[in-house]
Amino acid sequence: MYGGLASLARELEKEAWSGARYTVLLDENTFTHCLPALVSRVDALQEAEFIEVPVGEECKSLEVAAQVWQTLLEGGADRQAVLVCLGGGAVCDLGGFVAAGYKRGIRHVNVPTTLLAMADAAIGGKTAIDFGGVKNSIGHFYPAVLTVLEPSFLATLPQQELFNGMAEMVKTAAVADGELFRSLTAPDAQFSMQPMLLKRVARIKDSVVKADPYDHGIRKILNFGHTFGHAIEVYRGVPHGVAVALGMRVAMYLSVKKTGLVDEVYNAYSQWLASTLSAFGIPRATFTLKDIEQMLPLMHQDKKCAGGEVRCVLLQELGAAVIDVSVSDNEVRDAMLHL
């Protein structure tokens, strides 16, 4: 379900939710900026309890999950309990993880409040915490019973967070819907606030996930740009969305060389990237050969790498991705130098 708070309010009046006891999982920012609208516009949540967790990635830990379970137990939450995850991808990832484990599984509702979570993280059933120093190392496939898209929450989101979400939206469009890609990257696009485009992206993610719920095949197309993006993120310490946006440019360059993508798409994307980064005040990144040598091992560590070669998702054309394309180190060097 991708209605906003009004449709959540109607949904929770239905018989299926009678007897439900709601707990809202949130962080300091969503407590301030999003909880007031949630409880005032959704009657069923007026009496909901809430549990606040640390902001950002810090909440995705076993310790925080244990604290949430403890609070639920102490509050007498039974299998009728419903966890409402009100936050970005971090709160939704943690909330799904907690819900999957509590009393062998309780219902959870995702109410994403960042663009990235609305377009990506809150859809698709992947839950996770970080463990042993490894991001998302423990988790389940445990879909939310409802996902609610309320774009008005984006009004208080910092610019950097908007950019992160945009990058993932462009990624999803690139691999699945060329026309949507063009709308998102048009020179006059103000798409962060265009609910219709957001919903189209969310629907694509949903349908890709439904075709491959356990991530064995087609779902890998959603990793477009990520093999290079992850290496850039780790090496340069830039935000995920910036790294993915740069990683997509590398992947597009390689797509032109290897899988027949036309130059125009690469050029248009490069232009969009340059103007969007500058509009957001994000410095452009370039890489020397020395940088690239240090990043190559990170790409080889990537889970998509097999048989000694970097493997990644490339495009044949907009909306048509190929998974598991082997790319030699020299091809990576060439593509990254072009950033």
* 229 forms part of the interface with ligand NAD (CB under 6 A): no
Considering only CA atoms, which of 236, 115, 132 is closest in space to residue 167?
Answer: 115
Q: Which of the 8 DSSP states describes residue 282?
A: P
> Binding string to ligand NAD for residues 161 to 200, with x set by CB under 6 A, is what?
x--x------------------------------------
Stated as kind and residue range, the H or E segment containing 21 is strand 21-27
* 233 forms part of the interface with ligand NAD (CB under 6 A): no
> Which two tokens mark 32?
């301030």
Which residues neighbour 187 within 8 Å (Cβ) at sequence distance 6 or greater? 272, 275
Shortest distance, position 325 Cβ to ligand NAD, whole Å = 22
Q: Which is nearer to ligand NAD, 56 or 213 (CB)?
A: 56
Q: Which is nearer to ligand NAD, 33 or 257 (CB)?
A: 33
- Which residues, numbered 118-157, are part of the site for ligand NAD (CB under 6 A)? 120-121, 124, 126, 136, 153, 156-157
The type of residue at 127 is T
CB atoms within 10 A of CB 136: 14
* 304 forms part of the interface with ligand NAD (CB under 6 A): no
Shortest distance, position 84 Cβ to ligand NAD, whole Å = 14
CB 169 within 8 A of CB 198: yes
Q: Give the CB-nearest residue to ligand NAD.
A: 89
* Spatial separation of the C-alpha atoms in residues 145 and 134, rounded to whole Å: 28
Compute the residue count for the chain.
Answer: 339
* 225 forms part of the interface with ligand NAD (CB under 6 A): no
* 93 forms part of the interface with ligand NAD (CB under 6 A): yes
* 253 forms part of the interface with ligand NAD (CB under 6 A): no
How far from 188 is each of 97, 196, 227, 283, 326, CA to CA, in Å? Answer: 39, 16, 29, 21, 36
CB atoms within 10 A of CB 158: 10
* 60 forms part of the interface with ligand NAD (CB under 6 A): yes
* 226 forms part of the interface with ligand NAD (CB under 6 A): no
Q: Which is nearer to ligand NAD, 22 or 153 (CB)?
A: 153
Q: Which is nearer to ligand NAD, 94 or 180 (CB)?
A: 94
Q: Which is nearer to ligand NAD, 225 or 265 (CB)?
A: 225
> Which two tokens mark 143?
């879909």
CB atoms within 10 A of CB 96: 28
- Give the count of alpha carbons within 13 A of 53, CB side only: 31
Region near ligand NAD per CB under 6 A, out of 6-14, 65-73, 85-93, 271-279:
85-93
Q: Which is nearer to ligand NAD, 93 or 302 (CB)?
A: 93
> Which two tokens mark 273?
């990237």
* Spatial separation of the C-alpha atoms in residues 83 and 326, rounded to whole Å: 42
* 224 forms part of the interface with ligand NAD (CB under 6 A): no
- Please spell the DSSP secondary structure of 240-258, one letter per residue: HHHHHHHHHHHHHHHHHHH
Region near ligand NAD per CB under 6 A, out of 24-32, 71-79, 286-294, 305-313:
24-32
Q: Which is nearer to ligand NAD, 161 or 177 (CB)?
A: 161
Shortest distance, position 203 Cβ to ligand NAD, whole Å = 15
CB 79 within 8 A of CB 106: yes
Question: Could you list the residues that contact ligand NAD (CB under 6 A)?
Answer: 27, 29-30, 33-34, 55-57, 60, 87-91, 93, 113-114, 116-117, 120-121, 124, 126, 136, 153, 156-157, 161, 164
